[in-house]
Amino acid sequence: MEMILGRAQLKFIKLSGSVNYLINCGKETLPLVLQQAQQVGIMSDDHSYIIMNPDFQTIDIDPYKHGGSSITGIRMFDPSLEVIQNFITSLNAKVAELSENNIENAIEGNALTLDLALLYDAVTLFVSTLNTMGLEEGSNVTCDGAESWNYGSSIVNYIRTMEIDGLTGIVRFDEDGFRSDVEIDVLEVMSYGLDKVGTWSMEDGFVETKVDVPEAEQEGSESMKGKHFIVLTALSAPYGMLKESPKKLEGNDRYEGFGIEVIEDLAKMNEFNYTFDIQEDGVYGSYNSKTGKWNGMMEKIMDGRADFAITDLTITAARQKAVDFTSPFMNLGITILYKKPTKEPPDLFSFISPFSMGVWGWLAGAFVSISVLLFILGRLAPEEWQNPYPCIEEPETLDNQFTLANSFWFTLGSVLTQGSEIAPIAVSTRMAGSMWWFFTLIMVSSYTANLAAFLTVESKFYAIKSVNDLANNPYGITYGAKKGGATFSFFKESDNLLYQKMYQYMEDHPEYQTATNDEGLQRVKSDNENYAFLMESTSIEYMVERNCDVAQVGGLLDSKGYGIAMKKNSPYRQPMSESILQLQEEGKLTRMKDKWWKEKRGGGACTDDDAGGGEAQPLVLANVGGVFIVLAAGSGLAVVCAFMEMLFDVWMISHKMKVPFKEELIAELKFILSFSGDTKPVRHRESTGSDSGGSKKIDEKDDGDPELPDDDDRRAPTPRSERSSHSHHILHSRRQSNAVQMARMRKYSLRSGI
């Protein structure tokens, strides 16, 4: 009843789809569980087991060596050790002696259980403790009584400090009385028996150990030596091709290609002989659910008509159930082969392209901000208020060149590298102007350089960029795949709704399916058909290297590999896989691919077709953000400088005119903030006095010579009028010298006339 219940539970587990199992049961039950698991069919290549019973090594594992499933177990001691074998021999001899030879070989070489080994270690530890303590025989004590043994506590404490080398390893205890430094071996069932693959300890956890392959396992590689195998391939470039030679070739010399060269290297490494057989119809193999049979290469491998099969044969789950594959010698995925994108006509407004719209917005903001800033700085800076009439030493008004319109004109001229007649005079305006010139230098240079890239690199029109575009079919593009191939099966078995839609499309239109990959290439290249072909990326790479009018479109739809197929449970899978991994590590497979893809048979014809390719990208704020920061910092410094100039000028006026600094500062700020135009009246301030005093000065002036006014009668010029007169003194002197020169020239001309 228990057996039936166990088998029913295992059948339920099988229906659940689980493939990884953890078994924790007694030694007597474990063989029964494994046997029933094998009977219900859950011990294939897809299933894995972890056995937690430490006596796993004592059961018979022969029925499970070649089942294909991964079985892992644990043990606390190695029965092959000399100390274990000596103990078993001594124990069997003692049992035979006590039983008067009625019991012989009570324990087999690997049948020592953990319980017995631990019991032996416990007794050995107790005896060693008593001997070390040197205890004399004491009084007896019963186990049923309440009294304790006199030496009990001392022995327990002493045991915690003891250390012996037992059957289960070094026996020692921690401060809590638990055993420490326990090391457990991790075992795996191999075709030749149990193999230690690692150890586990509380301190280090699992540590994988180097696997020493015994002679029994090495036979898998050595058994290939001197043997002759039939290697099946197909004439599919570049994996298998007929050699181009004027001479008549025979045997294996007739063929060349990537797959041919891989077999040659594997044969040298494993010292076997081979003969190539060609799959004439080019069918790799697909499963017919109605007949329950495979066709093509798969059928020949399963029937034993060929030992190995190598070409662009994809490793799929369905094929792995029928045959064995080596480790992949090439990784790939499904993608799209389509015509190369056509070049788009240039955009009418392509001059905007060098900068992104964000940069254009920041540039416009900087233009407006600096223009307004120059207008404000012009009003703040005293040096920007100039005498409009240099001949008048004491003007009534001062003019400012940085009006709002002139400020915008100044910045616009700098951006367009044309300049303007406006030249900053004050330190603050010069500083702001210099920062703006530096900013425009960088921006204009960046614009010019990127514009050249946009004008030289033409954009390309992509009818499709991904499998989503192909499925939506916006331009009436038809598509298909190789009939019965792995690519077609991928869409057929996929759970993705988009891929199911594409499969249904190809199923409804069998005319879009092809017999070979070359047929798909020709349909893609045809001008009479708008066709896209779905196939493996490696084959597309080979075609693109030789056909410059086609290209790979989009990324990979999946990830898979090509492998060498052989009969199920073949003893040659492991040595062949190890040799392939060695070729990968040495870089030989990469060199082979470069050779057959890019060098041989017209490879590299389209290498320079897209030289300098890649579309030009507009500059974003991250590319030019630094120059905006420099402009902002310089502008801020200019504002500080302008305020310092204004404050210093106000202080000078208040000092000379004997007026309060605060009063003059308020008056100056009121005018600046009024924004009342570009003309500023000069405020003339005299020393304050009584009205009579003023009349007296006027009377005294009348008594004097009217042509020679007294110095006191003249109004003292203000600092602004002095600065204005001085700033135009040179210009006034030049005008006078020019007038004198013109007069001399006229005088000379009159004399000449006379």
- Type of residue found at 748: Y
What is the Cα–Cα distance from 186 to 74, expressed in whole angstroms? 5
DSSP-derived secondary structure for 331-386: EE-EEEEEEPPEEPPPPTTGGGTTB-HHHHHHHHHHHHHHHHHHHHHHHH-GGGEE
Burial level of 269, CB count in 10 A (0-12/13-18/19+)? middle
Are 583 and 591 in contact by the 8 Å Cβ rule? The answer is no
Evaluate whether 472 touches 502 at the Cβ level (below 8 Å). no
CA distances 621 to 2, 412, 715, Å, are 75, 21, 59
Q: How many CA atoms does the CB half-sphere of 584 hold within 13 Å?
A: 11
Residue type, 473: N
CB atoms within 10 A of CB 167: 22
Sole residue written with tokens 């009003």: 379
How far apart CA 128 and CA 163 sit, in angstroms, is 9
CA 334, CA 482: separation in Å to the nearest integer?
Answer: 12
For residue 481, the one-letter residue type is A
- Check the annotation: does 311 bind a ligand: no
Instruction: List the end-to-end C-alpha distance of the chain, in Å, as a whole number.
Output: 154
**SS3 for 650?**
helix
For the record, the structure tokens of 585 come out as: 């590590």
Q: Report d(CA 436, CA 637) in Å as an integer.
A: 13
User: What's the per-residue H, E or C state across 509-553?
Assistant: CHHHCECCHHHHHHHHHCCCCCEEEEEEHHHHHHHHCCCCCEEEE
Question: Going by DSSP bridges, is the β-strand pair 385-386/397-400 parallel, antiparallel, or unpaired?
Answer: antiparallel
Alpha helices in 145-205 (DSSP H): 152-161
Q: Is 82 annotated as a binding residue?
A: no
Q: Which candidate, 661, 77, 721, places its Cα nearest to that of 387?
A: 721
Q: Are 557 and 504 in contact (CB under 8 A)?
A: no
Q: Give, for 288, the enclosing helix (H) or strand (E).
A: strand 287-288
Contacts of 260 (CB under 8 A, 6+ apart): 233, 239, 240, 252, 276
Give the CA distances from residue 635 to residues 361, 428, 434, 684, in Å, rounded to whole numbers and listed in that order: 19, 9, 10, 33
User: DSSP characters for 29-43?
Assistant: THHHHHHHHHHHT--
Query: Does the bond joining 238 to the residue before it have cis omega, within 30 degrees of 0?
Result: yes
Cα gap 350→336, rounded to integer Å: 31
Distances (CA, A) of 636 to 163, 363, 646: 79, 18, 16
DSSP structural state of residue 62: G
Amino acid identity of 31? P
CA–CA dist 540, 560 (Å, integer):
15
With b for 16 or more beta-carbon neighbours within 10 A and e for fewer, the 531-546 pattern comes to bbbbbbbbbbebbbbb
**314 labeled binding residue:** yes
The verdict on whether residue 536 carries a ligand-binding annotation is yes
101 CB contacts (<8 Å, ≥6 apart)? Answer: none
Annotated binding site for L-glutamate: 314, 319, 487, 536
Annotated binding site: 314, 319, 487, 536
